[in-house]
Structure 1
Amino acid sequence: MKYYLGIDIGATKTAALITDENGNPLGTGQGGPGNHETVGFEGMEKAMGEALSGAISNANIRIEDIEGAGFGIGGYDWPAEETIMRASINNIGLKAPFKMVNDVTLGLLAGTSEGWGVAVVSGTGCNCRGWDREHIREGRVTGYGTLMGEGAGASELIYRAMQVIGYSWSKRIPPTALGDVFVKHFNARNLEDLIEGYTNGYYQIGAESAPLIFQTAEQGDSTACGLVQWAGTELGELANAVIRQLNFETLEIEIALIGSMFKSGEMLIGPMRETVHALAPKAKLIPAEVKPVIGAVLLGMEASGLKLSNEERTKVKAVLA
């Protein structure tokens, strides 16, 4: 029996999974936040160690029994970080060969049928990565959201919504129902109080409020509809950037759509698809509710040299799902 390890290292938790070569789950473990940008590399090592220890204990195997491991690392954004990332993984005592990627790539591995193409994440934030068939060439955006002009996760959508609500209050644009919806939701006295509280920090209006925009759009408010259209177009442009980098324009590629924003359905996905198809008409957008740690296990199998056929990959993913 051969054993494979996947670890998904995120900003809120770290998840580990051990399987056999058929994808049968044998043990899971969980650690704390592991993103080095918030907990440092010592915190990252601690979170990985906790998750690994739990998974090994549950699987009732030794660390030496693991054939290959895959790591999806939140905050692993630049090549300059590779050396210290590898050192941190080596410090947890793993003996097996391993591969490590940005955590978005785990969604690509698990969310597409053949483990290549493009993955677009739109949850609290947004990101986009792509891989070619051979997993040699990678395409990407920065993943830094508003700072780098990349939209649109829920945070970026709210940021833009509050801007247009401010425009409405100052009469730069006509009134929008969004103002009334937000005033009511946050129990503000009026629109001026809402904006004063938002800018002074006593109304905490963040990503969790994004569903208000979709609800208002569904009721026909033109400003809310425009915001959703903007978000879908921006997400399409993220995908298009990666498509250009990888020369995917003429290929039948899959684009995995990952994250809570895509639960809004065609309202958001429609303008995204239109934007993508203007560049890559054969692309197929696939909403993918997948656990990233599944992608990490598939990466671990790849690190060991195990070559899965498409049929075997599909079977492993089905078992793990």
Structure 2
Amino acid sequence: MTDYYLGADLGGTKTHIMISDQSGNVIGFGESGTGNHEMVGYEGMCENLTSAAHQAFTSAGIKPVNISGSGFGVAGFDWPNQKKPVMGVINTLDLGGRLELVNDTVLGILAGSLRGWGIAVVSGTGCNCWGWDKTRSRIGRVTGGGAVFGENAGASELLFRATSILAKAWTTAGPPTTLTDVFCRRFGVATPEALLQGLLCGEFKMHPSDALLVFETAKKGDPVTIDLIRWVGRELGEMACAVIRQLKFEDSDFDLVQIGSMFDGSPLIMEEMKLVILQSAPHAHFIRLQEHPVIGAVLLGMEAAHYCAGPDVRKLLTESSPIRRPFR
């Protein structure tokens, strides 16, 4: 009898569900919108999960009860009091077998590190950092609360800081920057005053994709923007160092997996992050995640069912995945 495993990655921009057999052959896949309840509420989370699951089970040709083990990585699952409502949504799928639930950042460790433990750092729309020790008996983490909690290393936080820089350049509290002209063109205004008025009064709104404009400006040599990007790298490094201290990894050889599109924006981010981390943990091994995190979710589902997936299973999961590589 064939065993089947389900992995679900409910992220800030999309929901991925993948179903495989015990050999790692992917037989079903579904994709839908954001799975983060903080963005769409639990009702929206449920709708997107249901849609992706329907696609996955339809393509797999099996039923939820046929699943032996499931792994779920959920963005916005940061605190114990969120487990009950999150599980309430997941339980609507009526899955068979055992289930494991983690924050979606943890999936990066499983997908990116052959060791199955270490630290994952996310820098995409937002930012996060979680880690497991070698025995997985200890967890290290930051709050996942973004700028409100001093975690300033995603596109949203980058643009928040960029807005402050634009304002200070206009008031002369800070140095001039070509970012001003870049964002004036972005919003179709002629003056910095009109730009700031639009941003302050809600006429204009920064989108995470506007981070690309910041990266392009830095590539052209604007010193203020270069400093801004280096600042993001240092912020990521400090987040990782916090988790390193929690797990007492200072003298350990461990994998640190980087996840998210911000790492592709500028090599300065990685450069600054490494400088900070290696001062605290000189034996850290840096891995840029190439696989989609949902593969880590399938591996987590296999673990939940006490199935030991070897290298051949991982290899086939990657090769049979319907999602285009590399992951960014």
* Category of TM-score, reference length = shorter chain: over 0.9
How far residue 79 of structure 1 moved from its aligned partner, in angstroms, is 1.2
CA offsets per residue over residues 207-228 of structure 1, 9 Å max, x none? Answer: 2211222222222221111101
d(CA) in 2 for partners of 1:126 and 1:42? 24
Please give the root-mean-square deviation of Cα atoms over the aligned residues, in Å.
1.9
Q: Given residue 233 of structure 2, which amino acid in structure 1 is its aligned partner? A: G
CA contact 2:7–2:72 (8 Å) conserved in 1? yes
Aligned to 2:147: 146
How far apart are residue 320 of structure 1 and its match?
4.5
Matches of 1:158 and 1:123 in 2, distance apart? 12
Distance 1:303 1:24 in 2: 18
Q: Do the aligned partners of residues 34 and 224 (structure 1) sit closer, same or farther apart at CA in structure 2, a change above 3 Å counting?
A: closer
1:1-321 counterparts in 2 under 5 A?
A: 1-309=2-310, 311-312=311-312, 314-321=314-321
**How far apart are the structure 2 equivalents of 1:268 and 1:31?**
30
Instruction: Give the partner amino acid of 2:182.
Output: V
Determine helix, strand or coil for the equivalent of 2:159: helix
What percentage of aligned pairs have identical amino acids? 44
Asked if 2 retains the 8 angstrom alpha-carbon contact of 1:15 and 1:30, the reply is yes
The amino acid of 2:318's aligned partner reads A
**DSSP 3-state at the match of 2:205:** coil
The alignment partner of 1:18 has SS state of strand
Q: Is contact 1:28-1:58 (8 Å) kept?
A: yes
Q: 1:282 to 1:26 in 2, by over 3 A?
A: same
Deviation by residue 1:226-267 (Cα, 9 ceiling, x = unmatched): 101100000111111111111111112111111111112422
Give the deviation of 1:57 after TM superposition: 2.0
Structure 2 length-normalised TM? 0.91
Cα 1:33–1:252 change in 2 (3 A) is same
Deviation per residue, 1:62-89 (Å, 9 max, x gap): 3232111111112111012223333433
Aligned-partner Cα distance in 1 for 2:235–2:301? 33
Q: Deviations over 1:174-204 (max 9, x none)?
A: 3222222222332211111111111112122
Q: Does the C-alpha gap of structure 1 residues 268 and 69 become closer, same or farther in structure 2, counting only changes over 3 Å?
A: same
SS of alignment partner, residue 280 of structure 2: coil
Query: Per-residue CA shift, 1:92-145, capped at 9, x if unaligned?
Result: 211210101111111221122222111111111111111122333111111111
Q: Which amino acid aligns with 2:99?
A: F
Instruction: Out of 92-101 and 174-183, give the one that drifted further.
Output: 174-183
In structure 1, give the amino acid aligned to 2:170. Answer: W
Unpaired runs of 5+ residues, structure 1, are: none
Inter-CA distance 138–317: structure 2 relative to 1 (3 Å threshold): farther
Report if aligned partners of 1:117, 1:255 keep a CA contact under 8 Å in 2: yes
Q: CA deviation at 1:26?
A: 0.4
CA contact 1:37–1:75 (8 Å) conserved in 2: yes
Asked if 2 retains the 8 angstrom alpha-carbon contact of 1:114 and 1:313, the reply is no
Q: TM-score, normalised by structure 1?
A: 0.93
Structure 1 residues 41, 204: closer, same or farther in 2, change over 3 A? closer
Return 5+ residue gaps in structure 2 as ranges.
322-328
Instruction: For 1:110 and 1:34, locate their aligned partners in 2 and report how far apart those are by CA, in whole Å.
Output: 19
Deviation, 1:40, is 3.7
Q: Report deviation, 1:45.
A: 3.6
Secondary structure of 1:30 counterpart: strand
Q: Which amino acid aligns with 1:15?
A: H
**By how many angstroms is 1:46 displaced?**
3.8
When residues 151 and 38 of structure 1 are mapped into structure 2, their CA distance, relative to the original with a 3 A threshold, is: closer
Describe the shift of the 1:245–1:271 C-alpha distance in structure 2 as closer, same or farther (beyond 3 A).
Answer: same
Give the 3 Å change call, closer, same or farther, for CA 40–279 of structure 1 in structure 2: same
Q: Sort the Cα spacing of 1:39 and 1:179 in 2 relative to 1 into closer, same or farther, 3 A.
A: closer
> Which runs of at least 4 in structure 1 moved beyond 4 Å after TM superposition?
none
Residue pair 2:131, 2:141 contacting (<8 A) in 1 also: yes
CA distance in 1, matches of 2:66, 2:52: 17
- Secondary structure of 1:101's partner? strand
Q: Is residue 113–residue 314 contact of structure 1 (8 Å, CA) maintained in 2?
A: no
The alpha-carbon distance between structure 1 residues 237 and 317, as it changes in their structure 2 partners (threshold 3 A), is: farther
More divergent stretch after superposition (39-48 vs 191-200)? 39-48
Q: 1:201 is aligned with what amino acid?
A: G
1:278 partner SS: helix
Q: Distance in 1 between matches of 2:133 and 2:317?
A: 20
- Provide the rounded CA distance (Å) in 1 between the counterparts of 2:34 and 2:318: 28
Name the aligned partner's letter for residue 155 of structure 1: S
Once the two structures are overlaid, the 10-residue window that deviates more, 48-57 or 122-131, is: 48-57
* Cα shift at 1:32: 4.4
What is the total number of aligned residue pairs between the two structures?
A: 320
Are the aligned partners of 1:294 and 1:320 in contact in 2 as well (CA < 8 Å)?
A: no
In structure 2, what residue type is equivalent to 1:236? G
Determine if contact 2:25/2:316 at 8 Å carries over to the other structure.
yes
